[in-house]
Structure 1
């Protein structure tokens, strides 16, 4: 496979690898969720669902955690609310603010997604070895956080 440099022996760049990983995880996750009764969900909903908390979270925090603009988060929250996965509630800490809170269906989806992700991570840890997989995740997290900080300047 050629990289962007055009040399066939060059490994793909970080953007290509990250995109491949995200696409593969999303395909597998959303296919599994569909089998579990959540066929109305789409990968774009992951920008909210991946960062949703049982106690709720503000849209600004979802935007910061996902790296997606707050207006996009608002559109996705609107869709998830129509589908019955979340609801908006006043934030007890600040009545002017709203929390995005999972409904019963949202909590069911969160449990199904957590089960899937745990199984996927265990599979990769068995394949690579637990220490190598833990190191891979730590390094990937470091690179992602460094890039996120640089991009937000």
Structure 2
């Protein structure tokens, strides 16, 4: 059973896979299924990362690590990390503080401007991202075994077709009230 929101009945409980027949479909299920698929991947990722020596990492940390290590970014400031995540400098700073405390990132002086502090990943942070990539590859392979490689490829192609190129951002945390 799943909780869903429908225009006539708020938090109506419906059986999974059965739409509201009188109202013409299951359109409301798509975002719920996409989100549940996302949560399934992220929860499995973090369970495996915990087993591999990263028990304190949380999903928001993964977004921040990606923002810090973005290709071609050099070593960003907290403001730049905040922009990449779509959150305030203060919210990014709090997450960076936590990553520093956990040993995943460090603040360094910018050699070209002594007033600026840049953020970079430590070896522990790089290890977490490297392990994350390997775990995501394993999870992708699991989905391919479950759905079939062709169906999974079609799903990915279909999502690429409907997702605007400029909407692929790391700022999902801002949807939930910041970091």
1:130 aligns with 2:149: no
Residues 117-139 of structure 1: CA deviation (Å, up to 9, x unaligned): 23334555625243542342353
| Partner SS, residue 20 of structure 1 | helix
Give the drift of 1:110.
1.0
Higher RCO structure, 1 or 2 (CA under 8 Å, sep 6+): 2
Q: Which residue of 2 aligns with 1:106?
A: 125
**Structure of higher CA gyration radius:** 2
What is the TM-score with the length of structure 1 in the denominator? Answer: 0.75
Which of residues 53, 57, 71 is equivalent to 1:41? 57
Unmatched runs of 5 consecutive residues or more in structure 2: 10-18, 172-179
Cα deviation 1:47-87 (Å, max 9, x = unaligned)? 31232218432222221222222211111111110111100
Are the equivalent residues in 2 in contact too, given 1:47–1:73 (CA < 8 A)? Answer: no
User: Quick one: which of 50, 75, 89 aligns to 2:94?
Assistant: 75
Compute the RMSD of aligned alpha carbons: 3.2
Most deviating of 14-23 and 26-35: 14-23
**Which range moved further: 52-61 or 93-102?**
52-61
Under a length normalisation based on structure 2, what TM-score does the superposition of the two structures give?
0.65
List alignment gaps of at least 5 residues for structure 1.
149-153
Deviation at 1:111, TM superposition (A): 0.4
